[in-house]
Every structure is written in structure tokens, then in C-alpha cells.
Amino acid sequence: MLFVFFFTAIAAEAQDDTIWGKWKTIDDKTKEPKSIVEIYEQEGKLYGRIVKLFLKPGEDPDPVCDKCTGEQKNKKTLGMVIINGLTKKGDAWSKGKVLDPDNGKNYNAKIWLEDGKLKIRGYILFLYRTQTWMRHID
């Protein structure tokens, strides 16, 4: 039994060291969970897709990105790729875009791990906002 506990603890610690997997996004204003985003790699680049939404009573059960432009306009939020094409540089991923479905805007992005949490920074020129996402364990 001790072996199983030890192995589980090592596996959980190893998982904390990787950016890949599911992350719980936290609303800046309410500090409540907003969604689960799955971070994955495709052709050497980092992407993130919304795989679950935490909706409040009365909210649209199948929301679309009505403020988005281009291909994302009026597309379902669930399943939407919101982190696009970041490349690894040192301990961070950058030179790609992050979409905020609430306002429909794309921002330059930088993502890195810090103390087992995912830091997401979206910026335009010198203005930026950084969110902290928590690892989601199914």
C-alpha cells in the first residue's frame, strides 16, 4: 500500500512539471472557475481548447463567441481553440495568440509554469494582463 501511495505522489509531482493537460481558468472579477482548457502540442506548437464551461443558472447553456471576428464569429465557445500557435523559448511559450471569448479580442501571449500553476499573459504593446490557472485533475 505504501508503494502505491509513493508512486501516486511521484506521478502527481511529475505532472506538476508539465504544461500539458487540463487547466481550470479563474475569472478575474469573481475569482470563480470559468472553464477548463486543455493544453496540447501540435506540430511543435502549443494550443489550448475549451473543453468545459462552468455556467451559472440562467446563462446560455451553449454560448457562442458573438464578439469574435473572422472565423471565430458566432462559433460555439465549448471546443473553441483560444490559445494558438505558441512556440517554446526557454522556460516559456510565446509568439502566439490568446483569445478572450468574453470580448472577442486576440492578444499576444506568453505562458509559463510557476509553482505548479500556469501563468497566462495576454498583451498589446506594453499593456498586459496575467491570469493564474490551476491544474485540473479529472
Do 138 and 19 touch, CB atoms closer than 8 A? no
Per-residue pLDDT of the chain (138 residues; tens, 9 = 90+): 544 443 444 444 445 689 999 999 998 888 999 999 999 999 999 999 999 999 999 999 999 999 999 999 999 999 999 999 999 999 999 999 999 999 999 999 999 999 999 999 999 988 999 999 999 998
DSSP single-letter state for residue 76: B
Going along the chain from its start, the domains and CATH numbers come out as 19-135 (2.40.128.520)
User: Which residues of 1-138 form beta strands (DSSP E)?
Assistant: 21-26, 33-42, 45-53, 81-89, 92-100, 105-114, 117-124, 127-135
C-alpha cell recorded at residue 99: 483569445
